[in-house]
Chains A and B, each alone.
Chain A
């Protein structure tokens, strides 16, 4: 992989997770000048985090699925695409100009096509005390395990729902660590709405893997189902977790509280470009409006993978390939050697999407954990704005998240709504008694990742025109 960056590429792929790696391999093999930009030190995204460097790759701790990431990285390396790691993308414009930063210097590059493969992030889990040291996400703990072989010590409690919670619990047990309790928050009625989709789920690859995993964990860990009113308690760090289960109020001393209630598309970059999104009432998140090739409302910009809608790692690859194939068709014409046909990709995709219907319904997070009932709960972590303050702003006339920014600074911190956007949309919708679609989302502005003044000042000069012109 060459270190020197050009200023023009045929294809720029943002994100080196399964979707990004697969898309770039397709376009590079077709002879298109392709660059993959990723902010992490090594490729793999989140699901295959540190797959090329993990201290645990030789062990059985992480499971076999994780190894798929290595195959994808090798495929990319063979394809001729240029992979640039430890590189932050802080801006993408509608004119397909990408602002990046690496080694403390900024530069702009342009591409004929851009694939956004920035994946998913864990849903916010706004409970009292969730900002205390000692509280982190399950995904965060899993990253520490994968990248550094670290396991949480002392009394460890997991809370929430979703496949990742069970996967990590199993990995932790495999590593020889112990878990004090799992507070399961799956609402009972989810089972009812998921049951009609169960037959399809039984046919899916998720089923057998999932069941074995669940059984292993349930055998060895105390599970408290139907947990509600969860709160982290402590002053400078977490000391205990309080909750209600089986009608009783329980308090457990805790050193590490790990939260997870599913993942949602990371829409930050797509929103900042102006890609149109819609609210998905089943997955309870914003998704970019895109066709089967990931093409969005902005010409030249496609989305692939979990960033287009939660679909899982295997489906992310297929969507990446579909996006790549469409680009190859547009820019290079003809077929790509070694690539599956669009037809076979669609079939693969359908197979892996069977079972999503069941999981999406079973693991839909409970309303109390999406819209905090307690007014004192922090909604915007960056600016420490509470649910009560947001409710009050709505009552005095604030209609959407953008007006909220001006009233309360909510959403004006560096995370730009990555951790509060979903909560704010649903909280305002509930308070105004309208649909989340009507409330909308923050209007985002670049840089989507902070850059220093020195980095920006180091942008290579160009002969840009002096003043703006009117464009109608």
Chain B
């Protein structure tokens, strides 16, 4: 027996859940099919950064739009998601880096974006008193902050269900093909059909794109994080670095979360990751240099999520290039959490009206075959221009 739905969303990460919620707001009751449980992977274990700061230019409009949602998150999902906005600060560790910051802020302003402000040495220390001596300034985005990623994903899921969406968890999609005017999905729990299917399958999204003749150069990565035992409060904003991999956040309970994108080893077929202690060691060294007070702090846990990275570090968002009724929403390259609310809204808009308010042309799936990609020595694909 085949079940039919208004729309099917594959994947219940923040993006799948957000899309399901926004579809429901527009009267479309989606069926979300998730192979584990909502927030099991990248969406549930990331650093929770709610960040407009330092985004790729193409993402800025989406990020700014998302901020509006975050500031009303309790109204949208009946849960504050642990969202706290004490700003995000990017630190420049040299004059050269600071010049780069200045150029960036100027460029954004020219384009009409004012969320990033330049900081000099004194202003930096007003915001981050514990920063080491060698830090010369940086950039602040004041509305930014962080939230609880698992809680947020679950809140979107709960609200989507309240508005009529259905979730099937522990169910994997094995096959996707056209069936008349609809799409037919074979799963471990039977067959499902819908006119519109959203591929929000994260690190497994390339398996879906392959089913509709759209292979993509998706790289599975395992960004690592560490968390410490509680310490007395010493830093309020989230801190990132311009020149090195670091993201740094202290929670209300005093624990400090250290991230930044150092990669471990993913085993996506087994839902597991292995940590790279050498890289974590480097992270630890970076933190100790930046915040000397942290040298004696104790690390109580380290972990990694399973995420999808695209070669140009920006996601795939938009309609399929080969198949009408298929939509893609994946590849957020370790910075998709903050974008969840607005991209879900955008996806629902796209599906129901055929157009979007915010430009998504840079995120089109066909960009990988348009440019002639070169393989560099490590096997990673990069655009030629």
* Contact B297 A470, beta carbon cutoff 8 Å: no
The one of B37, B277, B379 in contact with A108, judged by C-beta atoms closer than 8 angstroms, is B277
Contacts of A445 in B (CB 8 A): 301-303
Listed stretches A24-32, A40-48, A234-242, A456-464; interface member: A456-464
B78 contacts the other chain (Cβ, under 8 Å)? no
* Contact A456 B284, beta carbon cutoff 8 Å: yes
The one of B222, B278, B288, B299 in contact with A451, judged by C-beta atoms closer than 8 angstroms, is B299
* Contact B150 A451, beta carbon cutoff 8 Å: no
Contacts of A468 in B (CB 8 A): 221-222, 263-266, 276
* Contact A453 B295, beta carbon cutoff 8 Å: yes
Interface centre among B37, B222, B274, B296 (most CB of A within 10 A): B274
* Contact B220 A464, beta carbon cutoff 8 Å: no
B247-282 CB mask vs A (1 if < 8 Å, else 0) is 000000100000000011111110010111111110
Contacts of A461 in B (CB 8 A): 278, 281
**Chain B's nearest CB lies how many Å from the CB of A450?**
4
* Contact A453 B297, beta carbon cutoff 8 Å: yes
* Contact A452 B299, beta carbon cutoff 8 Å: yes
B292-327 CB mask vs A (1 if < 8 Å, else 0) is 001111111111000000000000000000000000
Give the number of residues in B that approach A within 8 Å (Cβ atoms).
47
* Contact A414 B277, beta carbon cutoff 8 Å: no
* Contact A457 B288, beta carbon cutoff 8 Å: yes
A368 contacts the other chain (Cβ, under 8 Å)? no
Contacts of A357 in B (CB 8 A): none
Contacts of B276 in A (CB 8 A): 464, 468
* Contact A471 B265, beta carbon cutoff 8 Å: yes
CB within 8 Å for A452 and B296 given contacts A94-B274, A457-B284, A467-B263: yes
* Contact B288 A454, beta carbon cutoff 8 Å: yes
What bracket does the count of chain A residues touching chain B fall in?
35 or more
B219 contacts the other chain (Cβ, under 8 Å)? yes
A338 contacts the other chain (Cβ, under 8 Å)? no
**Chain B's nearest CB lies how many Å from the CB of A455?**
8
* Contact A274 B272, beta carbon cutoff 8 Å: yes
Main secondary structure of the interface of B (DSSP, over half): mixed
- Rounded to whole angstroms, the CA-CA distance of A452 and B276 in the bound complex is 17
**Chain B's nearest CB lies how many Å from the CB of A19?**
27
- Rounded to whole angstroms, the CA-CA distance of A451 and B299 in the bound complex is 5
A406 contacts the other chain (Cβ, under 8 Å)? yes
* Contact A99 B277, beta carbon cutoff 8 Å: yes
* Contact B378 A462, beta carbon cutoff 8 Å: no
- Rounded to whole angstroms, the CA-CA distance of A450 and B229 in the bound complex is 9
The one of A447, A454, A469 in contact with B300, judged by C-beta atoms closer than 8 angstroms, is A447
- Rounded to whole angstroms, the CA-CA distance of A60 and B379 in the bound complex is 69
* Contact B298 A450, beta carbon cutoff 8 Å: yes
* Contact A454 B263, beta carbon cutoff 8 Å: no
B121 contacts the other chain (Cβ, under 8 Å)? no
Q: Which residue of A lies closest to B286 (CB)?
A: A457
* Contact A406 B44, beta carbon cutoff 8 Å: yes
Interface centre among A406, A456, A468 (most CB of B within 10 A): A468
* Contact A453 B269, beta carbon cutoff 8 Å: no
**Chain B's nearest CB lies how many Å from the CB of A105?**
11
Contacts of B265 in A (CB 8 A): 468-469, 471
Contacts of B222 in A (CB 8 A): 468
Contacts of B294 in A (CB 8 A): 453
* 28 sampled A-B residue pairs with Cβ under 8 A: A93-B274, A99-B277, A403-B37, A406-B44, A406-B154, A412-B301, A414-B298, A446-B275, A446-B302, A451-B298, A451-B299, A453-B295, A453-B296, A453-B298, A453-B299, A454-B284, A454-B296, A456-B284, A457-B285, A461-B281, A462-B278, A464-B278, A464-B279, A466-B378, A467-B380, A468-B222, A468-B264, A471-B266
List 7 additional contacts besides A452-B297, A466-B378; criterion CB under 8 Å: A91-B275, A409-B253, A414-B298, A454-B284, A454-B288, A457-B295, A469-B379
Can you list the 9 inter-chain pairs with the closest CB atoms, starting with the nearest? Answer: A459-B281, A450-B298, A456-B284, A457-B285, A468-B263, A457-B284, A406-B150, A464-B278, A454-B295
A residues within 8 Å of B by Cβ?
A: 91, 93-95, 97, 99, 106, 108, 274, 403, 406-407, 409, 412-414, 416, 445-447, 450-454, 456-459, 461-462, 464, 466-472
